[in-house]
Amino acid sequence: MTPAQAVIETTSGVGYLLNISLNTYTAIQDKKEVKLYVHEVLMTGGRDDSFTLYGFATKQEREIYRMLVTVSGVGSNTARMILSATSPAELVNIISTGNEKALKGVKGIGLKTAQRIIVDLRDKMASNGMIQDITSSLAGASAANVNQEVRDEAVGALTMLGFSPAPSAKVVTEILQAQPSMPVEQVIKQALKLIK
C-alpha cells in the first residue's frame, strides 16, 4: 500500500488495485482488514480501454467524489487530489461558504474551476443534506444542548436568505445556548443582527 494506491484482497483471494485519497490512506493504514467503498471508471475509445477502481474509507467521501467528477473540468484524478488535500467535512464547508481561495490551493485547480465547483455543487450538497450534516458537526457537542428543531429551522431560513450555513449555524447555536426557549422568529431576527 502507498498513500495513493491500495491492493485489497477479497475473501476469495482476488486482489484489486484501488486508487485512494490521502484521507482513505490515513483511515486504513496499519489495518489488516478494511472495508472500502468502490467507484469504478471505465474509459473507452482509442486503442486501449482502461478500467480503474477508486476506493474510499467512507460512503460520504465516495459520494463527494462522485459529485466532483460531474463538474466540467474535474476528472477522476483531480477529484482524488481535492479529497487528498481536504477532508470531506472540510470540502463541504469550503463549498458551502464559497471559499474559492481554499479550493485554489489544491494543485491543478484554478480560479475558474474553483468557482465552477462551488456553483455546481453547493445546491446539490444542500439538497442531499450534506451541508446540514457538516454544519451540525461544526457546531460540535455544544449544539446538543440546544433545541435542534428551532436551530435547524432558523439555519434553514438564514440559508434561504443567502447566508452561508456554517456561520449561520454557529450564531444560531450561540443564541439558543444563551436563551434556550427563544422562539424561532426571534432567533432569526437576533441572528440577522449578529451574522457577519
Give 45-104 pLDDT, tens digit per residue: 766 778 889 999 999 899 999 999 999 989 888 999 899 888 888 888 888 888 888 888
Name every residue whose Cβ is closer than 8 Å to that of residue 96 and which is 6 or more positions away in sequence.
122, 125, 126, 131, 134, 135, 164, 165, 166
CA 36, 42, 43, 47 torsion: positive or negative? positive
pLDDT at 177: 85
| H runs (alpha helix) in the chain | 22-28, 59-68, 76-85, 88-97, 100-104, 111-127, 130-139, 148-160, 165-178, 184-194
> pTM for the complete prediction?
0.64
pLDDT the model gives residue 142: 46
CA distance 135 to 130: 9
- Report residue 112's pLDDT band, with 50, 70 and 90 as the boundaries: very high
Residue that wins the pLDDT comparison between 159 and 140 = 159
CA 124 to chain centre: 11
Tell me the C-alpha to C-alpha distance, in Å, between residue 29 and each of 4, 10, 125: 12, 17, 29
Sheet containing 50-56: order of strands = 5-9, 15-20, 50-56, 37-43
